[in-house]
Amino acid sequence: MIKYVSGDILLSDAQAIAHGVAPDDHFNQGLALTLRERFPAMAKDFRHYCHQNNPDAGGAWLWAGPDGVIINLMTQEPAPDHNAHPGKASVTNISHALKDLCAIIDAESLTSVALPRLATGVGGQNWEDVKPLIEEHLGGLKIPVIVYETYTKGEKAQEKISKAA
């Protein structure tokens, strides 16, 4: 049950927010930066997770804190060195990360998830290439999937999805 909305994803009522990052991401750009500022423990825990597990691009990692659930989708290639910006996202990485997202949703019994136009900002992908992947992987889920197709700072989106949708 996918619904495309306009608004500020940070005001979402969804149980979890999923967003794109790179393995070993510093969370210093785009939505990741805003999430790091709001959930500093998440960014610290992600760095620890990456240091311990050396994840590949194309995976996903869930963080749950007292104020939110964030799912980091590793859609981008890691930075070539520790001081560089992460690489671009790829359709393959996005597809694999969305499969992992579905597994996390199922394993954690999540009731709703919100995500931005995944991998189209810092990730460098075209929305026309990413949107069909979201529909393919998430379209059959029985929970509300809220896609923030247009970002409008400070505006609460109308997220409700009717059972008939």
What pLDDT shows up at residue 50? 92
Q: Residues 6 or more apart from 5 whose CB is under 8 A from it?
A: 146, 147, 148, 149, 150, 157, 158, 159
How many separate domains does the chain show? Answer: 1
The pLDDT-based confidence of 95 (bands split at 50, 70, 90) is very high
Q: Is residue 138 part of a domain?
A: yes
On the question of pLDDT at 163 being above 70, the answer is no
pLDDT tens-digit profile of 99-112?
A: 999 999 999 999 99
On the question of pLDDT at 82 being above 90, the answer is no
Strand partners, 3: 146
Averaged pLDDT of the chain? 91
Tokens of 1: 């049950």
Arithmetic mean of pLDDT, 35-48: 94
Arithmetic mean of pLDDT, 13-24: 94
Tokens of 55: 């994840």
pLDDT tens-digit profile of 119-138?
A: 998 899 999 999 999 999 99
What pLDDT shows up at residue 34? 92
More confident residue, 80 or 58: 58
Query: Edge-to-edge, what's the strand order for the sheet holding 60-65?
Result: 2-7, 145-151, 113-116, 16-21, 68-74, 60-65
Q: Is residue 45 part of a domain?
A: yes
CATH number, domain with residue 117: 3.40.220.10
Q: Residues 6 or more apart from 113 whose CB is under 8 A from it?
A: 14, 15, 16, 17, 18, 71, 101, 105, 143, 144, 145, 146
Does the pTM surpass 0.85? The reply is yes
Q: Is residue 156 part of a domain?
A: no
Enclosing domain of residue 35: 2-151
Q: Is residue 17 part of a domain?
A: yes
Tokens of 33: 């930066």
In the chain, % of residues over pLDDT 90: 76
pLDDT tens-digit profile of 44-78?
A: 999 999 999 999 999 999 999 998 999 999 999 88
